[in-house]
Structure 1
Amino acid sequence: MFPLYDVNRARRPALVVKGLVLANALAFLLEYALGPEEVVRAYGFIPALFFQDPAGEAYRLFTSMFLHGGVFHILSNMWFLWVFGDNVEDRMGHGRFLLFYLLGGVAAALAQGVFTPFSTVPMIGASGAISAVLGAYYLLFPRAYVVTLVWFILPFTFVLPAGFYLGYWALLQFLQALLGVPGIAFWAHLGGFFFGLFTARAFTPRWYRY
């Protein structure tokens, strides 16, 4: 299932979401201009290195979330951010949302590191930070609906409750993490999601809480 758009329209322009999409796009172009393998090795999050020297390797917690492994990787990540991020930014406000997003990415990387502490494979991508946005959306907009594309022989669209869609998404990440499906940092997805779920209210102004 792939989200096309949510029916809950934000009231204010999503300036931070647009800025993050632009920053990721520019970082992607720079990454491939300089050589993706070298850039990923230099700026991706590597758990084994981080736990050997946390202070010296801390910069990777931030740089890794702006790197991507290919066109589909960045397009899918930015689409999820575009679909769900505007309403969360609207609810939190621009400054709070940016801080929330960055901390969510850090929490996601650390979660992956805890479960794979000896890994020397660089972890890259905005998925962890965006997973935090999904967790916040699940908490803040439980009655919203998402128009979802489902491909079964032919493509169909369904209008699903956001809570159902995101709950299904989180369960899928958990099952794949347990199965050890290679190539994707599923523990980072879960770490980001639960960071968003448990901290979103702290980043939301009091007059918006309910």
Structure 2
Amino acid sequence: MPPVITALAVAMLVIQLARDFLDPDMGIEILALFAFIPARYDPSLLADGVLPGGTAADAWTFVTYAFLHGSWTHVGLNLLWMLAFGSPVAKRFGPVRFLAFFAVAAAAGAGLHLISHEGEMVPMIGASAAVSGCMAAAIRFMFAAEGREAWRPDFLGASVEFPAPPLSVVMRDRRVISFVVVWFVINIAFGVMTATPDGSIAWEAHIGGFLVGLLLFPLFDPVSRHPDDRPLARSRRG
């Protein structure tokens, strides 16, 4: 497991442990300060000072909500998926690029959640949007080494090193298409079926993170481009 994944996991676990020992009032203060609350961005609903943090919190909550979780089951599931899909992405990107990617995916999830839940006071927490971004980023390169390294014990390691094909090529792979379709169906279905007046799974945030991971992957990828993604030569010689 890459050290950056370990550090993120430890941070989330320590935060969850600390919240277990806090009194309820302090827990509410932490949510108000670090969770993503759509109503924070609607001045017609909230007067200045109702939510702490001011303008700075307006910015940092786009990312800090990803480090808060509702229960040990919630944080455990997110860490499990982050280990599975975040590890290869972290190995490929390196720690600095991965942390930037994690933050951008989390912010994209918060942004789509804000658009679809404008004015809501219900806080959104959890790393699912960032983890969804890792899932999408992983499928951009996980099959890239096929034909050279397929079925070897170090296949995953080879895919981390091999240049990723362009998105137009990736989205013609039936396995990728199946993964994307099933992922969207499961997320939307769970989001709709678990909806209650007190809250639901933030499936819109998952989609925001996933789309960013799929579309912005090349901006973070340090590996040289796939040959099919390079400009064609101006002339060819026989």
TM, length-normalised to structure 2: 0.68
Q: Could you tell me whether the CA contact under 8 Å between 2:191 and 2:203 is conserved in 1? A: yes
Per-residue displacement from partner, 1:68-112 (whole Å, max 9, x unpaired)?
000110000000000111111112122111110011111111110
Per-residue displacement from partner, 1:132-182 (whole Å, max 9, x unpaired)?
11111122224699xxxxxxxxxxxxxxx5763454122322345567834
Q: Distance in 1 between matches of 2:226 and 2:100?
A: 18
Of residues 15, 22, 26 in structure 1, which corresponds to 2:14? 26
Structure 2 counterpart of 1:41, one-letter code: A
Gaps of 5+ in 2: 49-53, 152-174, 228-238
Q: Distance in 1 between matches of 2:12 and 2:38?
A: 22
What are the residue-to-residue correspondences of 1:1-210 with 2, within 5 Å? 14-35=2-23, 36-52=27-43, 55-56=55-56, 57-142=58-143, 164-177=178-191, 181-182=195-196, 183-207=200-224, 209=226
Q: Distance in 2 between matches of 1:49 and 1:108?
A: 16
The aligned counterpart of 1:5 is: none
Q: Distance in 1 between matches of 2:3 and 2:59?
A: 27
Is the strand fraction higher in 1 or 2?
A: 1
Gaps of 5+ in 1: 1-12, 146-160
Q: Distance in 2 between matches of 1:51 and 1:16?
A: 35
Work out the number of aligned pairs and report it: 183
Per-residue displacement from partner, 1:36-69 (whole Å, max 9, x unpaired)?
3442233211001134388342221222110000
Q: Could you tell me whether the CA contact under 8 Å between 2:190 and 2:201 is conserved in 1? A: no
How far apart are residue 26 of structure 1 and its match? 1.0
Cα RMSD after superposing both structures: 2.6
Greater CA deviation, 99-108 or 49-58? 49-58
How far apart are residue 186 of structure 1 and its match? 0.6
Q: Distance in 1 between matches of 2:81 and 2:190?
A: 19
Structure 2 counterpart of 1:203, one-letter code: F
Q: Distance in 2 between matches of 1:113 and 1:77?
A: 21
Q: Distance in 2 between matches of 1:45 and 1:138?
A: 28
Could you say what secondary structure the match of 1:39 adopts?
A: helix
Higher RCO structure, 1 or 2 (CA under 8 Å, sep 6+): 1
Q: Distance in 2 between matches of 1:177 and 1:79?
A: 20
Greater CA deviation, 79-88 or 180-189? 180-189
